[in-house]
Each structure stands twice: as C-alpha cells, then as structure tokens.
Amino acid sequence: MRTALTLAAMAAAGGIIAGPAATAWADDSAQSTISQLQSQGYTVNIDRLGTGPMSKCVVTSVRNPQTQTQWVPYTGPGRGTDRTILVPQVTSQTISVSLDCSAH
C-alpha cells in the first residue's frame, strides 16, 4: 500500500515537473511551435501582437503551463475490491504562447 501511494505521488509530481522544453522552440516557426504543443496534449492560448500572417509571426514567449488532474480509482490487475487506491489522471493541459506578428 505504501509503495503504491509513493508511486502515485511520484507520478503526480512528474506530471507537474515535466513541462515543455521551451529552448528548442526558438528556431521553430510559430505554427510548428503551436503544433508541437498541441501534439503534446496542450490546449494553446495565443496572445498576438500585430496583424501579420502566421508565417511571419515570431514566438516571443511560451509560459504558464497548467495541468488539471483528477483522482481516479486504480482498477489494474491484482486489485481486490476491499482496498481502493486513487491515482492522478490528467484531464486537461493549457499553455500560453505569445506571438509578434507586427510588420518588420
């Protein structure tokens, strides 16, 4: 029981600590940065400066990753109905991306 609770706590902490690695995005286009975040499961909120086309936008920051979790009962193999262990499950992830789309 203690091991299962420790593993659940480590999984929860790992989900919070393991955020997106923003260093690789400096060389990517704005659209590829947004697509990469979406492929990682994020809903991307965009702050945009200027009215230029997306192909001319530059990512100025990626910030504020938010992860919502919900505790759900573990129902894996070998578990009897006499004891319930709760484990965290990610229900949603959001992140903000700021773009500079002003004419250069």
**Does a structural domain hold residue 23?**
no
Structural domain count, the chain: 1
* Banded pLDDT at 22 (limits 50, 70, 90): very low
State the residue range of the domain holding 60. Answer: 2-17+28-100
**How large is the average pLDDT for residues 27-46?**
93
**Does a structural domain hold residue 34?**
yes
Place of tokens 């991307």: 44
**pLDDT of amino acid 85:** 86
Secondary structure percentages of the chain, helix, strand, coil, to 5: 35, 35, 30
Q: What angle do CA 8, 9, 10 make, to 5 degrees?
A: 90
